[in-house]
């Protein structure tokens, strides 16, 4: 797909879908600086798309620009509160040693969908890492009772 997107961008440098495609391709290939450039071009006009803000945030996090990544993820959450964005923000908070905020985001994600296991498992792992073993065990035990 990359050659097609490149041709489209030669013909129409402001083609947003082609920029999104290139951003995703570069991100998957590990060229995060190039991916970031394409996302930034897209966000000039598509600044109300939470998925693009979330993907952009993840690129910034990959480049270890956690402050901008957090700002981008907060923008995604302003547009739409969803579990994926809450989990991503929790991970960003954790990377910045903002443990209380990270746990709060996980709690919000768990409140959105009580059946989804990922936030619960993530919280259990972090509790274990923080030497809060009994709390971790309680979460895992509850999960195993629901889904042995």
Query: What is the pTM (predicted TM-score) of this model?
Result: 0.87
Q: Per residue of the chain (148 residues), what is the pLDDT tens digit? A: 899 999 999 999 999 999 999 999 999 999 999 999 999 999 999 999 999 999 999 999 999 999 999 999 999 999 999 999 999 999 999 999 999 999 999 999 999 998 899 999 999 999 999 999 999 999 999 888 887 7
**3-state SS of the chain?**
CHHHHHHHHHHCCCCHHHHHHHHHHHHHHCCHHHHHHHHHHHHHHCCCCHHHHHHHHHHHHHCCCHHHHHHHHHHHHHHCCCHHHHHHHHHHHHHCCCHHHHHHHHHHHHHHCCCCCHHHHHHHHHHHHCCCHHHHHHHHHHHHHHCC
């Amino acid at each position: 797909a990359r050659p097609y997107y490149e041709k489209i961008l030669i013909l129409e440098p402001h083609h947003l879908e082609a920029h999104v495609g290139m951003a995703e391709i570069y991100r998957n290939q590990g060229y995060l600086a190039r991916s970031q450039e394409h996302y930034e071009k897209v966000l000039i006009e598509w600044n109300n798309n939470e998925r693009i803000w979330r993907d952009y945030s993840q690129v910034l996090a990959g480049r270890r620009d956690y402050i901008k990544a957090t700002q981008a993820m907060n923008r995604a959450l302003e547009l739409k509160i969803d579990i994926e964005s809450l989990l991503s923000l929790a991970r960003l908070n954790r990377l910045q040693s903002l443990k209380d905020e990270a746990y709060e985001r996980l709690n919000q994600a768990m409140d959105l969908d009580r059946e989804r296991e990922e936030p619960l498992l993530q919280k259990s792992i972090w509790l274990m890492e923080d030497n809060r073993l009994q709390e971790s065990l309680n979460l895992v035990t509850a999960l195993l009772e629901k889904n042995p």
